[in-house]
């Protein structure tokens, strides 16, 4: 049986490990040992904040098998880039591994993989949702592997179920005669009855080790799987026996737990009846293997007792319990579970191969039916068929990391939002001229997040309508008719708001008479720079000019409308003191101060729920949209009772679908998810990390001029020359397109089109940040 178990594991010191990481892989890092039975693994913490795993293989491990594992990971990352598995780090000259010599003269193969973050499933209580997710992840791994083959795939492996009968010669290590008999019975039955059936089932290379220890979770979701050491070509169904045998152990209702795992698997890859019939036997055989191997191994390696014997008692007990149940009981439960469709986080992807001709025909139809001017993102446009968390899945089944879309801020198709909307749509959808409680509950919860007298909500369907309504409120309340906005502002599509959106104007189109603009307080490229202590005051002084210019035309300001992150101006954060000083001037001239939180609201900026909170101001009117309903059309104006009363003196307000029960259900679900999943603090944490990673890239890539933003709203300004600040517009366009091809979606912004705009759903985590950074590094390197 496997010589890797006899050969002594490598024994490099921490210092030697750090030396290998640096010399061979160019990673300057501290090394920390990780548990491993037959190899030696170290977690590397690099100076640039990145984390890796240095794996030094047991010298008896066949190089071909190591190559299979590496090639499998590369293949899976290509096929399903969203999969939370380790990424292979090559040496600076592109090699997949490096050979090192130990002090004893033996030679070892060292590889480096990315460190996948997450909580181990060992520490997580198994909820039904988590059980389904484990099953779904097991299936997803197998899907990513099904087009993969390697000549070493059918090798001798201790943990290969199909090789279980070989363990009969080891059962004498089990001291308890009753337990030994039970194990022998299972192995005999497997050899005589199960193996012949198993040979007729579909087979492929499988991960074969989705164990508790190897599964990484975040709350109720499986986010990753590590350890490709047991990869083998085997019947597909063997993959499912691993998590079931481990997770039902100690579970109060083991059969129900097995059913959840199976249902999750089945939701991604439909299981065949012949496969379901064998699950019981595969799970008991896996337990029998475990009891045998542990009892045998502990004789050879008494120093490793705790690791080897982990869970041995429970596994023995489980074996006894399963004999009591019998196979039929489990099969019935699994069949029933598969008959009921379940929704899983990592669900199926239907491959509908869309060749170039299909894509071109869709683009042509789009031109004809939607008008030729409707813009498409990316030179290589994305045909999306599904969304899930931070992923957009295209028509070929490829998962693209969405670091651009801020509307689905709690993640694409978040199940809580989807269910709330579906439930409400099936119950009632009506308008605000009737009484329904959800709108009141929503307005209560929304206004509870706002300071001062901001206590009345008016619901509409888009950010444009919200800004249009704010404009009407401001005019009615002040009796004035002038508007002040940023030079590159965008606030929406209605006729009135279009006049307040110079970013949309064609070349040479003048401002309307009643509108004045001020330059964005751009501390990087603008007239006044961040290092100038008077920067905020200088920019605020432009409000005096705008007010004077309106006055000269016979207007006084009704409102100053300001984004809390100046997106279209190039993702600019107003310098401290600017907003308060500007508001003071506008109010002194009789105008209202309106903050457009359509992009900056609902926790995106990390430190605050609303953008204005960072500036210590209380606006008169706040407009909301985009993420409010995670994609369900909804928007709102929040203001004071006095301001609403002023408009109501002039006219009635009613929006047919604004604030309808379905929108409110979406809005409430979004607030729930934001709170439950701690997405605001996550935006702060992941955003800060991502900004610092990109700042580090600036050391190697002189194109990066400035990295700015707040939370998960980030701008990266690209310049050809850091002293002249010549905008690198073409390069920015090329990088956005290249990143799209590398599987990461970002956008482009700013007057010169030279600012990378990064605004992912807030469920973006550190692994996603790393993937984005790697893609950006590569794209910049290729320019
Ligand atoms: N305000 C801001 C700051 C925006 O970014 C947008 C949309 N890009 C709007 C208003 C208009 O919102 P909508 O497209 O929902 O009408």
Please tell me the distance between residue 547's alpha carbon and the centre of ligand 1 in angstroms. Answer: 25
Name the strands in the sheet holding 221-225, side by side, starting at the edge strand that comes first in the sequence: 119-120, 215-218, 221-225
The answer to whether 518 and 484 have CB atoms below 8 angstroms apart is yes
Give one DSSP letter per residue of 249-284, joined into a string: TT-SSHHHHHHHHHHHHHHHSPPPHHHHHHHHHHHH
SS3 631: coil
CB distance 749 to ligand 1 below 6 Å? no
The predicted pLDDT at position 139 comes to 96
Residue 397: pLDDT band with limits 50, 70, 90: low
Q: How many CB atoms lie within 10 A of CB 156?
A: 14
Strand partners, 718: 704
CB distance 486 to ligand 1 below 6 Å? no
CA distance 575 to 533: 10
- pLDDT tens per residue across span 65-109: 999 999 999 999 888 877 899 999 999 988 999 999 998 889 999
Instruction: Give Cα 488 distance to the centre of its chain.
Output: 31
Please tell me the distance between residue 624's alpha carbon and the centre of ligand 1 in angstroms. Answer: 9
CB distance 469 to ligand 1 below 6 Å? no
Of 598, 610, 637, the residue with max ligand 1 atoms within 8 A of its CB, to mutate for a pocket test, comes to 598
CB distance 467 to ligand 1 below 6 Å? yes
- pLDDT tens per residue across span 439-495: 999 999 999 999 999 999 999 999 999 999 999 999 999 999 999 999 999 999 999
* CA distances to 181, 362, 382, 385 from 354, in Å: 56, 10, 11, 11
The predicted pLDDT at position 342 comes to 64
CB distance 600 to ligand 1 below 6 Å? no
The answer to whether 543 and 516 have CB atoms below 8 angstroms apart is no
Please tell me the distance between residue 521's alpha carbon and the centre of ligand 1 in angstroms. Answer: 20
Of 494, 626, 628, the residue with max ligand 1 atoms within 8 A of its CB, to mutate for a pocket test, comes to 626
CA distance 267 to 272: 12
Q: Whose CA is nearest to atom 5 of ligand 1?
A: 599
DSSP-derived pairing of the beta strands 391-394 and 384-388? antiparallel
Of 408, 460, 490, the residue with max ligand 1 atoms within 8 A of its CB, to mutate for a pocket test, comes to 490
Ligand 1, atom nearest to 626 Cα: 15
Please tell me the distance between residue 572's alpha carbon and the centre of ligand 1 in angstroms. Answer: 16
Q: Whose CA is nearest to atom 10 of ligand 1?
A: 491
Angle between helices 535-552 and 578-588 (to 10 degrees): 20
The answer to whether 727 and 754 have CB atoms below 8 angstroms apart is yes
CB distance 61 to ligand 1 below 6 Å? no
Token pair listed for 434: 């009737």
Straight-line distance from the first to the last Cα atom of the chain, in angstroms, rounded to the nearest whole number: 52
Mean pLDDT of the residues in the chain: 93
Ligand 1, atom nearest to 463 Cα: 12
For the ranges 34-43, 159-168, 341-350, 768-777, the lowest mean pLDDT is seen at: 341-350
Please tell me the distance between residue 466's alpha carbon and the centre of ligand 1 in angstroms. Answer: 9
Of 491, 493, 632, 636, the residue with max ligand 1 atoms within 8 A of its CB, to mutate for a pocket test, comes to 491
What length does the chain have? 783
CB distance 406 to ligand 1 below 6 Å? no
CA distance 488 to 526: 13
Mean pLDDT of 13-30: 95
Token pair listed for 647: 């408009």
Mean pLDDT of 689-693: 97
Question: Closest Cα to residue 779, out of 408, 378, 385?
Answer: 378
The answer to whether 773 and 694 have CB atoms below 8 angstroms apart is yes
For the ranges 34-48, 195-209, 232-246, the lowest mean pLDDT is seen at: 34-48
CA distance 362 to 377: 15
The predicted pLDDT at position 98 comes to 96
User: Mean pLDDT: which of 49-63, 313-327, 663-677 is highest?
Assistant: 663-677
CB distance 215 to ligand 1 below 6 Å? no
- pLDDT tens per residue across span 624-654: 999 999 999 999 999 999 999 999 999 999 9
Of 470, 471, 492, the residue with max ligand 1 atoms within 8 A of its CB, to mutate for a pocket test, comes to 492
Residue 1: pLDDT band with limits 50, 70, 90: very low
Q: Given a cut of 50, is residue 352 above it in pLDDT?
A: no
CB distance 491 to ligand 1 below 6 Å? yes
Ligand 1, atom nearest to 462 Cα: 15
Q: Whose CA is nearest to atom 12 of ligand 1?
A: 463
CA distance 97 to 112: 8
CB distance 599 to ligand 1 below 6 Å? yes
Of 374, 405, 408, 464, the residue with max ligand 1 atoms within 8 A of its CB, to mutate for a pocket test, comes to 464
- pLDDT tens per residue across span 296-326: 988 877 777 877 778 888 999 999 999 999 9
The predicted pLDDT at position 5 comes to 63
Residue with the larger pLDDT of the pair 162 and 117: 162
CA distance 635 to 357: 39
Please tell me the distance between residue 596's alpha carbon and the centre of ligand 1 in angstroms. Answer: 9
Ligand 1, atom nearest to 465 Cα: 16
The predicted pLDDT at position 386 comes to 85
Please tell me the distance between residue 464's alpha carbon and the centre of ligand 1 in angstroms. Answer: 6
Please tell me the distance between residue 121's alpha carbon and the centre of ligand 1 in angstroms. Answer: 41
Q: Given a cut of 70, is residue 293 above it in pLDDT?
A: yes
CB distance 598 to ligand 1 below 6 Å? yes
Please tell me the distance between residue 492's alpha carbon and the centre of ligand 1 in angstroms. Answer: 5
CB distance 468 to ligand 1 below 6 Å? no
Give one DSSP letter per residue of 652-717, joined into a string: ----SSTT-HHHHHHHHHHHHHHHHTTHHHHHHHHHHHHHHHHHHHHHH-TTEEEEEEETTEEEEE
Give one DSSP letter per residue of 293-340, joined into a string: HHHHHHHH-GGGHHHHTTTHHHHHHHHHHHHHH-HHHHHHHHHHHHHS
Q: Determine the Cα angle at 750 with ends 748 and 755, to 5°.
A: 50
The predicted pLDDT at position 399 comes to 79
Please tell me the distance between residue 455's alpha carbon and the centre of ligand 1 in angstroms. Answer: 23
Residue with the larger pLDDT of the pair 220 and 407: 407
- CA dihedral over 250, 256, 257, 258, signed as positive or negative: positive
The answer to whether 550 and 560 have CB atoms below 8 angstroms apart is no
Please tell me the distance between residue 496's alpha carbon and the centre of ligand 1 in angstroms. Answer: 14
Question: Closest Cα to residue 498, out of 465, 474, 521?
Answer: 465
Please tell me the distance between residue 627's alpha carbon and the centre of ligand 1 in angstroms. Answer: 11
């Amino acid at each position: 049986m496997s010589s890797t178990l006899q050969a002594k594991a490598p024994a490099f010191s921490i210092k030697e490990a750090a030396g290998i990481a640096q010399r061979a892989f160019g990673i300057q890092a501290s090394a920390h040992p990780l548990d491993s039975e037959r190899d030696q693994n170290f977690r590397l913490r690099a100076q640039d904040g990145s984390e890796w795993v240095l794996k030094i293989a047991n010298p008896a491990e066949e190089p071909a098998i190591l190559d299979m594992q590496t090639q499998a990971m590369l293949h899976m990352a290509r096929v399903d880039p969203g999969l939370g598995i380790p990424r292979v780090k090559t040496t600076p000259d592109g090699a997949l591994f490096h050979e090192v010599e130990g002090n004893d003269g033996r030679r070892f193969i060292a590889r480096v993989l990315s460190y996948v973050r997450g909580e181990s499933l060992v520490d997580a209580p198994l909820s039904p949702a988590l059980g389904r997710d484990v099953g779904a992840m097991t299936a997803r791994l197998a899907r990513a592997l099904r087009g993969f083959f390697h000549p070493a795939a059918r090798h001798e492996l201790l943990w290969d179920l199909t090789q279980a009968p070989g363990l009969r010669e080891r059962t004498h290590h089990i001291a308890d005669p009753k337990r030994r008999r039970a194990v022998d019975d299972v192995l005999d039955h497997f050899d005589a009855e199960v193996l012949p059936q198993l040979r007729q089932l579909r087979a492929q290379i499988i991960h074969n080790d989705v164990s508790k220890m190897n599964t990484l979770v975040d709350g109720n979701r499986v986010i990753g799987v590590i350890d490709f050491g047991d990869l083998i070509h085997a019947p597909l169904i063997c993959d499912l026996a691993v998590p079931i045998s481990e997770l039902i152990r100690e579970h109060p209702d083991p059969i129900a737990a097995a059913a959840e795992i199976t249902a999750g698997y089945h939701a991604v890859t439909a299981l065949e009846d012949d496969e379901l019939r064998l699950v019981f036997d595969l799970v008991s055989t896996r337990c029998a293997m475990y009891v045998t191997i542990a009892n045998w191994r502990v004789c050879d390696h008494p120093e490793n007792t705790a690791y080897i014997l982990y869970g041995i008692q429970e596994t023995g007990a489980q074996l006894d319990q399963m004999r009591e149940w019998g196979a039929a009981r489990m099969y019935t439960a699994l069949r029933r579970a598969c008959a009921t469709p379940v929704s899983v986080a990592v669900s199926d992807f239907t491959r509908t191969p869309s060749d170039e001709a299909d894509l071109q025909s869709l683009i042509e139809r789009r031109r004809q039916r939607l008008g030729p001017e409707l813009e498409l993102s990316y030179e290589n446009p994305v045909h999306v068929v599904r969304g899930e968390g931070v992923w957009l899945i295209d028509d070929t089944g490829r998962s693209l990391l969405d670091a651009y879309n801020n509307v689905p801020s709690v993640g694409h198709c978040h199940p809580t939002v989807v269910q709330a909307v579906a439930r409400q749509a099936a119950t009632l959808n009506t308008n605000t001229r009737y009484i329904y409680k959800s709108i009141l509950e929503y307005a209560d919860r929304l206004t509870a997040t706002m300071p001062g007298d901001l206590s009345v909500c008016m619901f509409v369907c888009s950010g444009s309508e919200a800004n249009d309504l704010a404009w009407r409120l401001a005019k009615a309340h002040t009796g004035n008719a002038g508007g002040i906005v940023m030079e590159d502002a965008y606030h929406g599509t209605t006729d009135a708001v279009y006049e307040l959106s110079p970013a949309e104007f064609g070349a040479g189109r003048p401002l309307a008479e009643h509108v004045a603009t001020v330059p964005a307080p751009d501390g990087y490229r603008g007239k006044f720079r961040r290092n100038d202590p008077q920067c905020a005051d200088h920019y605020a002084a432009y409000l005096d000019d705008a007010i004077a210019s309106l006055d000269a035309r016979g207007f006084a300001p009704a409102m100053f409308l300001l984004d809390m992150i100046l997106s279209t101006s190039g993702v600019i954060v107003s310098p401290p003191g600017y907003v308060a000083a500007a508001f003071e001037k506008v109010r002194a001239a009789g105008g209202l101060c309106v903050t457009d939180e359509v992009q900056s609201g609902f926790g995106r900026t990390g430190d605050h729920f609303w953008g204005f909170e960072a500036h210590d101001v209380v606006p008169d009117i706040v407009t909301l949209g985009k993420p409010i309903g995670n994609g369900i059309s909804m928007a709102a104006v929040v203001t004071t009772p006095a301001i609403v009363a002023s408009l109501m003196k002039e006219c009635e307000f009613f929006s047919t679908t604004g604030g309808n029960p379905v929108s409110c259900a979406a809005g409430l679900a979004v607030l729930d998810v934001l709170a439950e999943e701690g997405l605001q603090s996550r935006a702060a944490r992941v955003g800060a990390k991502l900004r610092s990673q990109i700042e580090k890239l600036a050391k190697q890539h002189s194109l990066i001029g400035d990295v700015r933003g707040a939370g998960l709203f980030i701008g990266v300004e690209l310049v050809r020359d850091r002293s002249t600040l010549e905008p690198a517009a073409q390069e920015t366009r090329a990088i956005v397109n290249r990143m799209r091809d590398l599987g990461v979606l970002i956008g482009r912004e700013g007057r010169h089109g030279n600012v990378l705009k990064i605004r992912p759903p807030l469920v973006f985590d550190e692994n996603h940040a790393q993937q984005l950074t790697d893609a950006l590094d590569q794209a910049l390197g290729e320019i």
